[in-house]
């Protein structure tokens, strides 16, 4: 679940936004009414997205606050503001926000903006050239399994097996082909093969790898 910081100096508005974004599956990790409060929350919490009002209490407005946060943290920011004049918009654009919503905005606009912001930011994580789903991918050049941007450790034989399955994705790889690829100089051993398949299944969280009875296995992606 993504953690959202709401920086809004109108408490009623902040509570309304908080209630709504919880309903659509986000977690509110803090509510701040000033830049100082926002800095403290960012420092002490994992923040995945910031909803930033332009007008805040204190010496710094939301744009200045966003600029300072981005100096140390790569967090997507959505501005929410009643101001739409050119000067304010140009200052906001300089901080490279994910979106800029003009008050009053509807809930659908906010939901779409939040989903786009978090998805775009997540896409900056490492992703392989063969996509399994929104969690797993495989880099054919480096022969690495990637889960949520991080490389999953595979043994040499697990890598060989997964590479073979990826090359023939959605098609059956026979027991013979697996044995010949991984143990070319040894007689086939069903128990050894099953153990290898089980280990790979575990690392794939029991997704994608299907058994085709009496024939072989298939990577369904």
Per-residue pLDDT tens over the stretch 74-126: 899 999 998 888 899 999 999 989 899 988 888 888 888 898 888 766 555 67
User: Are the C-beta atoms of residues 63 and 84 closer than 8 Å to each other?
Assistant: no
C-alpha 74/C-alpha 97 separation (Å) is 11
Q: Quick one: which H or E segment has residue 98?
A: none
The average pLDDT across 51-55 equals 95
- Segment 148-177, tens digit of pLDDT: 878 899 999 999 999 999 999 999 999 999
Cα–Cα dist 174/214, whole Å: 9
The whole-angstrom separation of Cα 162 and Cα 140 is: 10
CA 45 vs. chain centroid, Å, equals 18
Give residue 125's pLDDT.
61
Quickly tell me which residue has 């709504």 as its tokens.
20
Q: What is the pLDDT of residue 144?
A: 93
Bridge partners (DSSP) listed for residue 100: 79
Rounded distance, CA 154 to CA 164, Å? 14
What's the angle, vertex CA 45, arms to CA 44 and CA 51, rounded to 5? 120
Q: Give the number of other Cβ atoms within 10 Å of residue 20's Cβ.
A: 13
pLDDT of amino acid 107: 84
Domains parsed from the chain with CATH numbers: 3-122 (3.40.50.2300), 130-219 (1.10.10.10)
DSSP-assigned letters across all residues of 61-85: -HHHHHHHHHTT----EEEEES---
- Chain mean pLDDT for the chain: 90
């Amino acid at each position: 679940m993504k953690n959202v910081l709401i920086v809004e100096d109108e408490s009623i508005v902040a509570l309304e936004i908080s209630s709504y974004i919880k309903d659509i599956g986000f977690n509110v990790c803090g509510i701040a009414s000033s830049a100082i409060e926002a800095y403290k929350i960012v420092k002490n919490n994992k923040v995945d997205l910031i909803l930033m009002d332009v007008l805040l209490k204190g010496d710094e407005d939301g744009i200045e606050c966003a600029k300072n946060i981005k100096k140390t943290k790569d967090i997507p920011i959505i501005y929410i503001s009643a101001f739409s004049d050119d000067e304010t918009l140009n200052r906001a654009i300089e901080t490279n926000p994910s979106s800029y919503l003009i008050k009053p905005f509807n809930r659908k606009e906010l939901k779409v903006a939040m989903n786009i912001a978090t998805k775009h930011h997540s896409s900056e994580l490492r992703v392989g050239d063969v996509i399994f789903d929104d969690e797993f991918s495989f880099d054919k050049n480096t022969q690495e399994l990637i889960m949520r941007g991080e490389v999953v450790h595979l043994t040499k034989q697990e890598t060989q097996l997964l590479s073979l399955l990826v090359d023939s994705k959605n098609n059956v790889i026979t027991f013979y082909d697996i044995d010949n690829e991984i143990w070319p100089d040894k007689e086939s051993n069903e128990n050894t093969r099953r153990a290898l398949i089980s280990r790979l299944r575990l690392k794939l969280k029991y997704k994608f790898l299907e058994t085709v009875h009496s024939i072989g296995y298939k990577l369904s992606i």
